[in-house]
Amino acid sequence: MAGLLRRRSQMPFAATLERERIQARPTWSALRPANPQPTSGVRMPPILEARDLTKVYALGKTTVEALRGVSMSVEPGEFVALMGPSGSGKSTLLQLLGGLDRPTTGSVVFEGRDISRLTDGQATRLRRERTGYIFQAFNLIPLLDVRENIALPFTIAGGPKDRKERVRQVIDLVELTGKERHRPDQLSAGEQQRVAVARALVTRPSILLADEPTGNLDYTNSGELLDALWRSCDQGGQTIVLVTHDARAAAYADRVLVIGDGRIQDEIVLGRREDHSAATLIARLAQVGL
């Protein structure tokens, strides 16, 4: 299967579309209400904006300043990577962007609403309905099979009428068709993480936030996961913020923000490319000392 996936990811985009047309099946992009794609020259209002965020953790009698004034924005349909050394504040920032935690000062505006001011109940609903989150550890339920794990957000919150079809579509997107009845211990690490991606996408979130999703994966499995993320963005218009140490992963992004010492230190604009070569990014990262 790995060979097949690699071949598919190397196919020209038009050829991929043609293959999907021939399969005479509705594609992911046709079914998902897409975020508008970034269009050159036309600036969309940001879907997500962080304004002068600080985060101070209290640790006994000491404090840790994890973020020291971060401002950034993400446009609809954009794929943004956050890179930076260990402890620089990447996960802290992602948690604030996803409404999993509140900033000490500053605000996070998501789809025009300041989510740092929501009540706990409102924040929970927002996370459930509008955002998808992927962690480094896959967090799958061992006793549930692939389909049940993916449908979990619907089991918890009740789902739409077409939930079976949605589950089928995301299984197709992450290329796990045929493995629906496997439990997590009957899957490879890469397949498990692709289940986590499918679970995060099944609610059709406005934004997907992923924290080191390839951190536990080998080269091949990382590539397959990144290809799935890329398809959801490029074909389905999914907005993505990806935290990663890995330049190869960040090279899938339109734009890379480099975080150091709780601040955004640099911005590297790569643009939308079919070719995900990391060479340019690695050269730029070397210039900023990463």
Out of ligand ATP, Mg ion, none, what residue 87 binds, judged by CB under 5 to 8 A for its kind, is ligand ATP
Which residues contact Mg ion (rule: CB under 5 A)? 91
Q: What's the CA gap between 225 and 240, in Å, rounded?
A: 13
Out of Mg ion, ligand ATP, none, what residue 13 binds, judged by CB under 5 to 8 A for its kind, is none
Query: How far does CA 93 lie from the centroid of its chain?
Result: 14
Which residues contact ligand ATP (rule: CB under 6 A)? 57, 59, 64, 66, 84, 86-92
The smaller minimum CB distance to ligand ATP, of residues 8 and 245, is found at 245
Smallest gap from Cβ 258 to Mg ion, in A, equals 15
The smaller minimum CB distance to ligand ATP, of residues 29 and 104, is found at 104
Out of Mg ion, ligand ATP, none, what residue 57 binds, judged by CB under 5 to 8 A for its kind, is ligand ATP
For tokens 């986590």, what's the residue? 196
Smallest gap from Cβ 106 to ligand ATP, in A, equals 15
Out of ligand ATP, Mg ion, none, what residue 66 binds, judged by CB under 5 to 8 A for its kind, is ligand ATP
Best CA proximity match to 49, nearest among 89, 109, 101:
109
The smaller minimum CB distance to ligand ATP, of residues 77 and 262, is found at 262
The smaller minimum CB distance to ligand ATP, of residues 42 and 59, is found at 59
Q: What's the CA gap between 186 and 179, in Å, rounded?
A: 9
Q: What's the CA gap between 201 and 199, in Å, rounded?
A: 5
Helices (H), the chain: 2-10, 13-22, 28-31, 90-97, 120-129, 146-150, 152-157, 163-173, 189-201, 219-234, 247-250, 279-287
Smallest gap from Cβ 86 to ligand ATP, in A, equals 3
The smaller minimum CB distance to ligand ATP, of residues 88 and 192, is found at 88
Positive or negative torsion for Cα 148, 150, 152, 157: negative
